[in-house]
Amino acid sequence: MTGPAPAPASWQPPATALELRALAAQRTAYAPYSRFRVGAAVQASGAVFEGANVENASYGLGVCAERTAVFAAVLAGARQLEAVVVCTDASPPSSPCGACRQVLAEFGPEMTVIVADAAGHRCIYTVRELLPDAFTPAHLDR
């Protein structure tokens, strides 16, 4: 008896609901300077919080999609995040920047991080894999 036929190499599993939310958020990004639109969706206790990158003419004042989604979750009372999906147009999909990795580590060092693009390509990590020696509250002198 044989199992199901293997999927063709170009086959990608369908996007998850969290990925679809991140893709929708990506469409709201404000990126007139870089044209690099990013959307993110964070899951915490069953709730989903979206974010998109917001650029500024004073470049250093822009903020990434991952952080806007995390900050929305925290504003709603979430403190332990379970998963984040980050969607870009880059292929292969881009992973979070260092600042976003640090913010993600604050609220979920074991959380799943999925980076995806609109074509369905994805890579899956944990925050600890992306930032193995993160600065955490344990490092603070209390």
Q: 9-53: per-residue pLDDT in tens?
A: 444 566 789 999 999 999 999 999 999 999 999 999 999 999 999
Instruction: Answer yes or no: is pLDDT of 3 > 60.
Output: no
Q: What is the mean pLDDT of the chain?
A: 90
Report residue 137 CA to chain centroid gap: 22
Is 66 considered catalytic here? Answer: yes
Rounded Cα distance between 26 and 125, Å, is 20
Range 13-44 burial, b when 16+ CB lie within 10 A, else e: eebbebbebbbebbeebebeeeeebbbbbbbb
How does pLDDT run across 71-83, given as a tens digit for each residue?
A: 999 999 999 999 9
At 136 the pLDDT is 86
At 4 the pLDDT is 54
Q: Out of 50, 66, 82, 110, which one is annotated catalytic?
A: 66
CATH of 17-135, one of 3.40.140.10, 3.40.50.620, 2.60.40.10, 3.10.20.90: 3.40.140.10
Domain ranges for the chain: 17-135
